[in-house]
Structure 1
Amino acid sequence: MSPTIPFRTPGGRHKEKFPIHVEEEGDGEFPDAANMLATNDAATVDFDSPQDPSRAVNWEPRKKWILIMVLSSMTFITYMLSSHPSISDVQLMKITSALASAMFAPGVPQLMGEFRSKNSVLASLVVSIYILGNAFGPILLAPLSEIYGRSPIYHVTNIFFVIFTMACALSSSLNMLIGFRFLQGTAGSAAIALGGGTVADLFIQEERGKAIALWAMCPLLGPVVGPVVGGFLSAGLGWRWVFWVLAIAASVVMVAYFVFVPETYSVVILQRKTVRLRKQLRNPYLRSKMDSGLSYSVTFRQAIIRPLKMLLFSPIVASLATLSAVVYGYLYLVFTTITNVFETNYGFSPNIVGLTFIGVGLGMMTGVAAFGGLSDRILVRKARANNGELKPEYRLSIMIPCGLCTPVGFFIYGWTAEKHVFWLVPILGTSLIGAGVMAYFIPIQAYLLDAFTIHAASALAANAIWRSIVGALIPLAGLPMYDALGLGWGNSLLGFISIILIPVPMAILVYGERIRKSARFQIE
């Protein structure tokens, strides 16, 4: 049994006793409070019990879901600006219309006219630089969150996101705008880099399915809603108002973070409790049970290289990150080409072509609903059939049947668009693509949370880094591929590659646990 040590508040009243787990030394007798204060015996501070209300996992459901909704709101806002690279060095208007999958992109022609530039490379860079910031941010932010906690990183990056968004609106040159767009993308990556870790903090394994579905949906729906809103906004008020509206929305959510997003990371919560007890008991030798004993500098060095180590040396993380990156790149390839397809083949005007993205969005929402409703049930059912063990691999089983939506969607979208079939049919094809992407994207996020709970932020950061880089590169092949192969065979090629990828989750289902638990691939 661990002894408990009473303490007095400044007012002198006794409060509830905190369990102090004392490291036994010498004859093994536990020192009393007076002796502890007088000696250098070390004591370890732990949570009062598994049901300790200070642990985020024990908070009331209402508090948890409000936090997830606030977190998802900022993720949605930051990814409405999510950018996509240039896909063709043709006329400037063709480039920017193909880039209309970001909220800001529809205003690029106005911007280039205002700054008197016809440089197609800069027109592409001013949009795509944001995603490079998304790739850079998790490298720094995820490790910092495992040292200082989630909430300080959220609050600081939210403030900087608002500042950099306003700076974009006030930019007086193209170079200034490009610089602030990169910083904006870096700050905006916090919600996606740390969000999965927050979900792991709040929910036990068999309850994470719905939470991860809600959180993961927003970064993918943002680029769907972005062009619909951005096209009308930039046409009516100009490109600068795109940034002003986003700055206002981000400011509101930033305030909500201060109200509804307290610290959730158990390591930091327990460390704060330890600091409080040191002052109350006047015992500087108390230490957190989760304290590694390393200095901040050493801890930071280990934390900052952990995502890269996971990506390079963990076959599970590397394979799932690559799979996630490919389907993410597919989605963005559709985003960067759909405008050109419907303007050229169906004569859609620039003002309404953004509405074609709704098909992808509906498909993604369907995929989210399917995962949210089935994932936890599948996990629990498979665990009951296997001696109650909740294996992370069970999260991936939904990928195999639902993953077929992606190739089928590409076949329908490609051939119906090439043959000029009624415009609703290719949009239905993009809906299947959206559903299939979510069938890969969300289970991978959930798996990484279950498999790397204490270092979930680092695992998701590794996934986000690789996903952002590949997601920025794959769409480069969009229009050139369609020009060479046509819409039918071009999209069929993507469909065939999607079929080839299906064995990847099947292999992880069979061999993943063995590889994950292998000492050779343990990442600390």
Structure 2
Amino acid sequence: MASIDIERPASQRTLTPSYTGSAAKKDEESATKEDVVQAEDPNAVGWDGPDDPNNPMNWPAKKKWSCIGALSVMTLLTPLGSSMFAPGVPDIMREFETSNRNIATFVVSVYVLGFAFGPLLAAPLSEIYGRAIVFNVANVLFLIMTVATALSQNMPMLIVFRFLMGFTGSTPITNGSGTISDIFPVQERGKAMAVWAMGPLLGPCIGPLAGGYMVEAIGWRWVFWLIAILTGFIATLCYFATPETYAPTLLRAKAAKLKKETGNQDLYSILDKDGLTPKQRLSNASIRPMRMLFTHLPVFILSLYVAIVYGVLYLMFSTFTFVFAQQYGFGTGTIGLAYLPTGIGMLFGTIVFGVMTDIVIKKKIEQNGKTVPEDRLPIWMTLPSGLLIVVALFWYGWAADQNSHWIVPMIGVALFCFGLMGIMMCLQTYLVDAYITYAASAVAAMTVLRSLAGALLPLAGLSMYDDLGLGWGNSILAFLALVLVPVPVIFFLYGPKIRAKSPNNLG
């Protein structure tokens, strides 16, 4: 790690007041003058040199990937709740004696609404108390809310606990990106992001496929009982496989331990040089995601782009029942097959773009000795991905409108999801690289906007399809997506200047 000359944030610098030598001198090249001064303070506690095994950046690859693997399984499980029971909505409507079509849509999308608000609490808490404790508490709460959902006796109860499932289940999705920035150097981050991103994107696609047959065979409540059983097992796995990774939390613990051992009460973490109290840090952290969203242009614009295409994905989901059940005659069990192209497109997109972004970064380091966040936005990746989304929306809309063979609109869905992954992988990894110390808050801001769009756009979009039909309705969405295509190109060309204008108000 220390041999790679790349810019690193304070949370990953391996400075310590008691360490000297050539390795430390290399790190001084990426350290600011203030860091060096702080490192000379005998009371400042840092890592024991650049190769300190307690620094998560220096963990063995097996330990790192075990951590990411456990989190990825959890990020696959929690989104299953968003759509796994979707094929059972007609049964739920009959059981609770409700016929309102908007309620039928909302009982599915309210879960995603929980995803919008959960990150506002989970991300800042993880940047104050650490990743591990927030993950573990959230997993237990998710299990409790899932059981409560399975026991729901009426529609309001079902909706409330569905929202709380999403609220608590959003934590591994939001904070996982922060964990990746904690343990992986920039040139390895793309593959890790790809593995971690599969869960939240594949979950809503795989869910209906399994849920359709389950609802048909044993009823909709068993969807939630299955999720609860799996959560109990995977949450236990995560407890043992995901140790604390956040550098500020680890160094605070180290400083506290040394205080007890030495009796020196003046010791402090080198990363706590701001002098803030825990209460002040919590106050700052609690508003950080929204502050980033509305005062940092890269976070707002890129989050808006992702929110729109993600909302369109959920709007597309809302048409599947009409298109494939009523138009093509799919049954309750087989309707889940309509979501299979979504998973295929996302799976291939995640693998392709996750690997390619790391290749780009490694080449940049070989050529220039360093990398910048804008290297995550190569035009030859983002431009074709954006245009593919546009083409796919026209394809799906008019194929379904003209009642083409069912495989034709499914191909359009797969192409859309492949392009979606190209955009999401590039933009999300860009934010992680640009805001490493506060990566969880940056991704939380994106998740808030994305989840709001995923929850609310289907409610508004149904009337659009009623008025315009699938062909012209999807054409309007395609034209909107076309307007957004230049956004990553602009940030690739002018990103450093745009970021420089953002206020330095994140501490």
| TM-score, normalised with respect to structure 1 | 0.86
Distance 2:18 2:452 in 1: 52
Q: Does 1:272 align with 2:243?
A: no
Shift of 1:383: 4.3
Q: Does 1:331 align with 2:313?
A: yes
Residues 339 and 354 in structure 1, CA contact (< 8 A), matched pair in contact too: no
- Tell me the SS of whatever aligns to 1:421: coil
- Tell me the SS of whatever aligns to 2:44: strand
Distance 1:187 1:163 in 2: 10
Question: Closer, same or farther in 2 for the Cα pair 1:420/1:111, shift >3 Å?
Answer: closer
Amino acid at match of 2:330: F
Match of 1:47 in 2: 47
Question: Closer, same or farther in 2 for the Cα pair 1:423/1:144, shift >3 Å?
Answer: same
Question: Closer, same or farther in 2 for the Cα pair 1:174/1:346, shift >3 Å?
Answer: closer
Query: Residues 111-131 of structure 1: CA distance to partner in whole angstroms, max 9, x if unpaired?
Result: 233333344454444333222
Distance 1:367 1:3 in 2: 46
Alignment of 1:419-438 (within 5 A): 419-438=402-421
Picking from 425, 428, 436, the partner of 1:442 is: 425
Distance 1:422 1:180 in 2: 39
- Tell me the SS of whatever aligns to 1:453: coil
Larger mean CA deviation between 149-158 and 54-63 belongs to 54-63
Distance 1:426 1:23 in 2: 62
Query: Residues 160-192 of structure 1: CA distance to partner in whole angstroms, max 9, x if unpaired?
Result: 100110111122333222222222111101011
Question: Closer, same or farther in 2 for the Cα pair 1:2/1:123, shift >3 Å?
Answer: closer
Q: Does 1:230 align with 2:207?
A: no
Query: Residues 359-378 of structure 1: CA distance to partner in whole angstroms, max 9, x if unpaired?
Result: 11111111111112210111
Alignment of 1:343-354 (within 5 A): 343-354=325-336
Residues 106 and 459 in structure 2, CA contact (< 8 A), matched pair in contact too: no
Residues 23 and 44 in structure 1, CA contact (< 8 A), matched pair in contact too: no
Match of 1:147 in 2: 128
Match of 2:234 in 1: 253
Distance 1:107 1:154 in 2: 30
Query: Residues 302-355 of structure 1: CA distance to partner in whole angstroms, max 9, x if unpaired?
Result: 011111111111111100000010111111111111221122322222321210
Match of 1:135 in 2: 116
Distance 2:342 2:116 in 1: 24
Query: Residues 246-293 of structure 1: CA distance to partner in whole angstroms, max 9, x if unpaired?
Result: 000111110001110100001111111111111111222211101132
Match of 1:208 in 2: 189
Match of 1:17 in 2: none
Distance 1:259 1:321 in 2: 33
Match of 2:153 in 1: 172
Distance 1:522 1:274 in 2: 26
Question: Closer, same or farther in 2 for the Cα pair 1:160/1:362, shift >3 Å?
Answer: same
Distance 1:363 1:450 in 2: 25
Shift of 1:515: 1.6
Question: Closer, same or farther in 2 for the Cα pair 1:175/1:426, shift >3 Å?
Answer: closer
Match of 1:505 in 2: 488
Amino acid at match of 1:407: V
Match of 1:66 in 2: 66
Distance 1:362 1:132 in 2: 25
Residues 130 and 244 in structure 2, CA contact (< 8 A), matched pair in contact too: yes
Q: Number of aligned pairs?
A: 473
Larger mean CA deviation between 439-448 and 486-495 belongs to 486-495
Q: Does 1:309 align with 2:297?
A: no
Q: Does 1:364 align with 2:346?
A: yes
Distance 2:453 2:151 in 1: 31
Match of 2:95 in 1: 114
Residues 296 and 503 in structure 2, CA contact (< 8 A), matched pair in contact too: no
Question: Closer, same or farther in 2 for the Cα pair 1:139/1:167, shift >3 Å?
Answer: same
Distance 2:302 2:337 in 1: 32
Shift of 1:51: 1.6
Question: Closer, same or farther in 2 for the Cα pair 1:48/1:350, shift >3 Å?
Answer: same
Residues 129 and 181 in structure 1, CA contact (< 8 A), matched pair in contact too: yes
Distance 2:72 2:401 in 1: 37
Distance 2:459 2:504 in 1: 34
Larger mean CA deviation between 192-201 and 176-185 belongs to 176-185
Distance 1:23 1:323 in 2: 41
Distance 2:216 2:71 in 1: 30
Question: Closer, same or farther in 2 for the Cα pair 1:347/1:246, shift >3 Å?
Answer: same
Distance 2:183 2:55 in 1: 8
Distance 1:497 1:383 in 2: 36
Query: Residues 199-218 of structure 1: CA distance to partner in whole angstroms, max 9, x if unpaired?
Result: 10110001101010111121
Question: Closer, same or farther in 2 for the Cα pair 1:173/1:412, shift >3 Å?
Answer: closer
Picking from 362, 366, 382, the partner of 1:399 is: 382
Match of 2:323 in 1: 341
The Cα RMSD (Å) is 2.0
- Rg: which structure is higher? 1
Distance 1:423 1:64 in 2: 43
Picking from 430, 437, 441, the partner of 1:458 is: 441
Picking from 144, 151, 169, the partner of 1:188 is: 169
Distance 2:49 2:42 in 1: 20
Larger mean CA deviation between 352-361 and 147-156 belongs to 352-361
Distance 2:342 2:109 in 1: 21
Match of 1:78 in 2: 78
Distance 2:244 2:441 in 1: 18
Amino acid at match of 1:54: N
Larger mean CA deviation between 480-489 and 134-143 belongs to 480-489
Shift of 1:298: 0.7
Distance 1:517 1:22 in 2: 24
| TM-score, normalised with respect to structure 2 | 0.89
Amino acid at match of 2:415: L
Shift of 1:421: 2.1
Amino acid at match of 1:479: L
Give structure 1 stretches of 5+ with no counterpart.
5-20, 25-29, 31-40, 83-101
Query: Residues 401-444 of structure 1: CA distance to partner in whole angstroms, max 9, x if unpaired?
Result: 22221112112212222222222122111110010111111111
Distance 2:75 2:107 in 1: 21
